[in-house]
Chains A and B, each alone.
Chain A
Amino acid sequence: MTDFKKIEENLKKEAKRLLESGEVTVVLAYGKGFDEKHPMPFAAKSVADVDNIVFNEYCNYNMARYLVRYPQGTKIAIAVKAADSRAVIQLIQEEKIKKENLVLLGIPVIGMKNPKTDEVIDSKTTCGMHNPVLYDVLLGEEVHGQKIVSPYDVLAEYEAMDKDARWQFWKDQFDKCIRCYACRKACPMCYCDPCFIDQNKPKWADKAPQSPGNIMYHLTRFHHLAGRCIDCGECSRACPVDIPLYLFHKKVAKECEEMFNQVSGMSIEDKPVLVNFRVEDSDKILE
């Protein structure tokens, strides 16, 4: 099992070292919340801030979400778990950030929990990886020997549904949406300003939180995340009404993987699949 205290110590130590030496100006990590179970994303900007850093099984935030908030060129250290490191890679691919401005503090971990349900989050709601894909410093022992479960296994049930039942399922889910946009805001890949849903000309969707606008918002958002979503599951955890957005994102990721033979956020050399092409792409994918 992961030694959370040890990682917390290492995280503090590294943060302190990096801030002290002036190597970075911000350390994006996790901080104390109003109680143990509710830690918060935290930006440490001085050595004094380091005391506030924590790490426990509820720190499932994807800190990559905050990277684009700092001006280009800011030296940032960021704590990354597996999916978070993939988000960083994806953002590098999209030229939102540069590797040379970053120090990745890798956290290998198993047993992160969703504070709302106290369930362990694994391949069901996230990509299910345990070790960061890219890091400069590793803050714990790499996790090995875990049974490898495909993050797409959860989809089977939904893929097997007949299309009318699946439509009904999604319609019921989207009807619950109150359009608070927490999903978009929690997502590390949703950095557009303005987001299509906020545009008035053209107005892509109704503003009212009811079926037509909700469906348009979600389908388009799934499309915008195609080949970019790194399956951290933050969108679904952020949702106050628990819409299982991750299912749709996983499905799109799976399709992209099959069609384009590339997994998002795995290498900084890659280009996002939808801003790329191969002449030999087959027309079969259109069928």
Chain B
Amino acid sequence: MDFEPKILGIACNWCTYTGADLAGTTRLQYPQNVRVVRVMCSSRINPSFIFRALQLGADGVLVGGCHPGDCHYNTGNLYARRRLATTKKILEFAGIEPGRFRVEWISASEGNRFAEVVEEFTTQVKNLGPQTKLKIQE
């Protein structure tokens, strides 16, 4: 049986989430592996969300926010960029495949882009196989 990864998507309300919506309403096809959670801004994402998601069984985490400069709160994603970049480095040094975590800027009008990214990321995580390092074993 093919491995179907579980991916947590965290999308900002103003851009990526709306973009995902657009992808839906324009009936674009993309893999269903990403479960999207909406947050108000990508800077609301506590790095522990990502660690915790991986512990609770996510095989990958995809974060989406507005393009730098387009943040609804002006600078939220600029903070988030630094913070999430650090998160990525930490995962990497801990020995977790960096390919399991990705940050993308997707605007409200980029339904296509959203579908593309999900497609790409899902394939990538699929190729990495199940995430067992951080996952809490019963």
Contacts and interface: CB of A to CB of B under 8 A. Distances in A.
A212 B84 contact: no
B13 to A, nearest CB: 20
Most buried by A among B86, B102, B134: B86
A87 B127 CA distance: 44
Given A220-B51, A248-B93, A279-B69, A215 B134 contact: yes
Main secondary structure of the interface of B (DSSP, over half): helix
Q: For the side of the interface on A, what is the size category? A: 35 or more
A75 to B, nearest CB: 35
Given A163-B96, A168-B95, A223 B82 contact: no
How would you classify the secondary structure of chain A's contact residues: helix, strand, loop or mixed?
A: helix
A34 interface: no
B86 A286 contact: no
A252 B69 CA distance: 27
Interface string A253-283: 0011001100000000000011111110101
Contacts of A170: 94-95
A251 interface: yes
Contact of B82 (A168, A169, A277): A277
Interface string A188-225: 00000000100000001000000010011001101100
B68 interface: yes
Given A216-B51, A277-B75, A279-B68, A260 B82 contact: yes
B40 interface: no
Contacts, number: 99
A283 B81 contact: yes
A212 B55 contact: yes
A166 interface: yes
B85 A286 contact: yes
B129 interface: no
Interface residues of B, number: 33
Contacts of B48: 196, 204, 216, 220, 223
A277 B79 contact: yes
A256 B96 CA distance: 19
Interface in A218-236: 219-220, 222-223, 226-227
Given A163-B97, A259-B82, 9 more contacts: A164-B95, A168-B95, A219-B91, A222-B90, A256-B86, A279-B78, A281-B81, A281-B82, A286-B88
Interface of B: 47-48, 51-52, 55, 68-69, 75, 78-79, 81-97, 102-103, 105, 133-134, 136
17 contacts: A161-B95, A166-B95, A170-B94, A170-B95, A196-B48, A216-B51, A220-B51, A222-B90, A223-B48, A252-B90, A255-B93, A274-B82, A275-B79, A281-B81, A283-B105, A285-B81, A286-B103
Q: Which 6 pairs across A and B sit closest by C-beta, in order of nearness? A: A167-B95, A277-B78, A166-B95, A285-B85, A255-B89, A163-B95
